[in-house]
Amino acid sequence: MVTEDELLLMTAGVDGELTPAQARELRELLVRCPEARVLYNQLRADSDRIRSLPVLQAPPGLTQRVLDQIHAHTPNLIRVKHTSLPTETDRQHRATRSRWIPFGIAACLLLGVTASSFWFFSSDHESNVASGPRVNRGWNGHLPADDVRPPTQPFEGNEFASDQNPPTQTHPAAPQPRPATGLARALAPQPRPMRPEFHAFLAGAEIAPFEFVEVRIPVLQPLSEFTREDVQRDFLHELSLEPAYRIDLFARDNFRGLQFFEAAAQSIGLRVLIDTATADLTRKQLARAVVVYSDALEPNEIVRLLEVLSNRDAKVSPRIFDLVHATPATSVEQKMLTEILGFDPGLFKRPSTLEKSRDTTKPLSSQTVEHLVKSVTTVAGNPAEKTAIALLSTPMSSRTPPAYSAELKQFMANRGLRQSKAVPVLFVIRQGPG
Amino acid sequence: MSDDDRRLIALSLGGNRDAYGELVSRYQTRLYNAAIRLVEHPEDAADVVQDAFLNAYQSLQTFKGEAEFFTWLYRIAFNTAISLKRRKRTTVSLDSAASEGTIEPLDCSEYVRPGAALEQGEEEMQLQAALSRLSPEHREVLVLKDIEGMKYEQIADILGVPIGTIRSRLHRARLELRELLKTDED
């Protein structure tokens, strides 16, 4: 009888990945065990058969088809930076840049107002001084030129008389202006240098081509892929980037999807409290989407939840779930949750850290006492239990008002303080294709 | 990665599509042979290769050049093949297809030598059928090991899993394939 270890040794031998000691061990095994020898030879033969499969030529014209497709779909390469790539330093830089945006806009506005004022007064002044026919000088005619004459220099009738590059013949020479008597010519101040900015720039100003464009790609994976270690690792990293997430789970059947989700959550220690009306409408296939909110899970638990869900889903045919779409939560999710839950769960609030409460020299605050009393007197459920609440995401008119949902009350009672590593997450189980 | 690949990639990034065309010509046959063991039909394999090259071009900026270009390309092709299979599964159940005996041996001869399907040996047909019944994960490691001739380390790099996982996957894949072939032989 060949043992499992011996089988491993044999397949590694077929793979050609044995150490000298293992190779010696395999040789000894093959000598002493005929059964192993037969199996080893068969495995070797199978491998040889795969190797001897004929090399097939790619279809003719494939290169051209690829190039045609590239031409049709991608006019130019765009630098794409994957979501998982930014480092902590990048984020700090981004935050620093974001802080300067209002100042940049204000500075540009001020510059614009200054330039406009200058242009206005400059035009007015010129029309008063030189009332004769004017040469159209375009933009340069409105802004003070570099060759502004000093007050002592006599005014030349021909604007271009002293220019290095005279105008073409199409521009008629300007007639001699009437002498400006009784009006003192004042020098306009030099304008500030004007540079096109990203956030605000003068119309017509040329912008250099972007050197870098960052595109954040949301996670979009089939649920079945969440059993793979690389997918789990990438998703875990993604969950560490933002304070809160929305994860859409596209299901063939919302009711079964919710059942599966509840069971998977239970297995990782998360109790899903399903609002009675939500359960009823979902069972009747009247719910298009169900929101499951929890702020008790840590990133690794969220990944584990999806893995368990994927494993359970794989046991049924056809599968209930299809794609998983995860994006950082935004103010839209915050608003939606506030409407559904009846209170703002504070998606983006930083959780309180334990360090603050370690200072024993400080007296207990009223909040701390309140939390202690609450934790001792709470009877509904176990305060240490991690919970989630499932509610309909339909308009207010067709769902239970938050105040009437017993499950929501229970969720609020159990919720407690958010742990420092916990990531608020909003699962949306929604009807997918099929 | 070879200097020539590096040069072609740099040219492609600079907008030279002919350079990318050269990369396509260079790797299409190898990728096609790998892809055809992952999907059911030659047409699907061609689609996989085509989509993989297109996707690779669109995300060429993200290729850091730490691994071989083909390694990176293969990863993209594999994901494309899985997506394709999933899409097709919504219309045709693999189980039902198998029960009806419709899992045909991979006949790519129409592109190479017309009429060659008839010449395909019984053994090869059995092997193709058995390979197509393996799970994608098992089929994938066998393709990379036996057809591409890669080491555990390279396979682990492509699939992004530990070497131990590759070893055990190959172990299970070989035993599963043996069982399938044994059933056919019986």
- Å between B99 CA and nearest CA of chain A: 16
Among A142-151, B64-73, B80-89, B143-152, where is mean pLDDT lowest?
Answer: A142-151
Q: B60 vs A76: CB contact, 8 Å cut-off?
A: no
Task: Supply the pLDDT for residue A284.
Answer: 82
Of residues B167 and A157, more confidence is placed in B167
Most A CBs within 10 Å, among B146, B167, B181, to test the A interface: B146
Chain B residues with CB-CB distance to A3 below 8 A: none
- Least Cα distance to A290 among A160, A387, A388, A192 occurs for A388
Please state the rounded mean pLDDT for residues A257-275. Answer: 92
Tokens for A326, please give them. Answer: 């995860």
Name the nearest CA neighbour of A337 among A371, A294, A368: A294
- pLDDT given at position A180: 46
Residue with tokens 């939606």: A336
What sign does the dihedral B109-B114-B115-B120 (CA atoms) show? negative
Q: How far from B143 is each of A57, A151, B36, B148, B170, CA to CA, in Å?
A: 17, 86, 10, 6, 10
The highest-confidence range among A87-91, A430-434, B61-65, by mean pLDDT, is B61-65
Average pLDDT over all residues of chain A? 73
CB B84 within 8 A of CB B44: yes
Q: Indicate the angle between helix axes A254-267 and A299-314, nearest 10 degrees.
A: 120
User: What pLDDT shows up at residue A63?
Assistant: 83
Which of A129, A119, A128, A123 shows the shortest CA–CA distance to A151?
A: A129
Under the banding of pLDDT at 50, 70 and 90, the label for residue A261 is very high
Q: Are strands A425-431 and A245-251 parallel, antiparallel or unpaired?
A: parallel
The pLDDT assigned to A406 comes to 85
Q: Give yes or no for a contact between A337 and A253, defined as CB atoms under 8 angstroms apart.
A: no
Q: Quick one: closest CA in A to B124, which residue? A: A53
Query: By C-alpha distance, which of A325, A329, A351 is closest to A235?
Result: A325
Closest residue on chain A to B148 (Cα): A51
CA distance B53 to chain A (A): 7
B33 to chain A: closest CA residue? A56
All residues of chain B having their beta carbon less than 8 Å from the beta carbon of residue A82 are 62
Q: Would you state the torsion angle of the CA atoms of residues A330, A333, A338, A341, taken in this order, to the nearest 10 degrees?
A: -140
Peptide bond into A318 cis (omega under 30): yes
Q: Is the ipTM of this complex over 0.90?
A: no
Return the top range by mean pLDDT from A23-27, A192-196, B82-86: A23-27
Q: How many CB atoms within 10 Å of residue A204?
A: 7
pLDDT of residue A304: 94
Binary contact (A51, B146; C-beta < 8 A): yes
Rounded to an integer, the average pLDDT of A65-94 is 58
Helix, strand or coil for residue A332?
helix
pLDDT exceeds cutoff 80 at A237: yes
> Given CB atoms, is B28 within the 8 Å cutoff of chain A?
yes
Residue A251, C-beta contacts closer than 8 angstroms, at least 6 positions apart: A257, A320, A321, A322, A429, A430, A431, A432
DSSP annotation string for B32-84? HHHHHTTSSSHHHHHHHHHHHHHHHHHTGGG--SSS-HHHHHHHHHHHHHHHH
Q: In angstroms, rounded to a whole number, what is the distance separating the alpha carbons of residues A93 and A95?
A: 5
* Model confidence at A121: pLDDT above 50: yes
Structure tokens at B136: 């994608």
Q: Which residue has the tokens 């009784």?
A: A182
B123 neighbors B132 (Cβ within 8 angstroms) = no
pLDDT above 90 for A287: no
More confident residue, B185 or A215: A215
> Per residue in B13-49, pLDDT tens?
888 888 888 899 889 888 888 888 877 688 888 888 9
Confidence (pLDDT) at A302: 94
pLDDT in tens, A374-406: 555 444 445 467 899 999 876 655 566 777 788
Q: What is the pTM of this model?
A: 0.39
CA of B178: which chain A residue's CA is closest? A43
- Distance, CA of A61 to CA of B32 (rounded, Å): 13
Paired tokens of B33: 């042979």
Confidence (pLDDT) at B43: 84
pLDDT of residue A364: 57
pLDDT of residue A139 exceeding 50, the answer is no
**pLDDT tens digits, one per residue of A312-351:** 999 888 889 988 999 888 888 888 888 888 888 888 876 6
**CA–CA distance, B131 with B141 (Å, rounded to integer):** 11
For residue A257, the model assigns a pLDDT of 92
Does residue B1 or residue B26 have the better pLDDT? B26
> Residue A260 — very low, low, confident or very high, per pLDDT cuts 50/70/90?
very high
Q: Taking the CB of residue A389, how many other CB atoms lie within 10 A of it?
A: 27
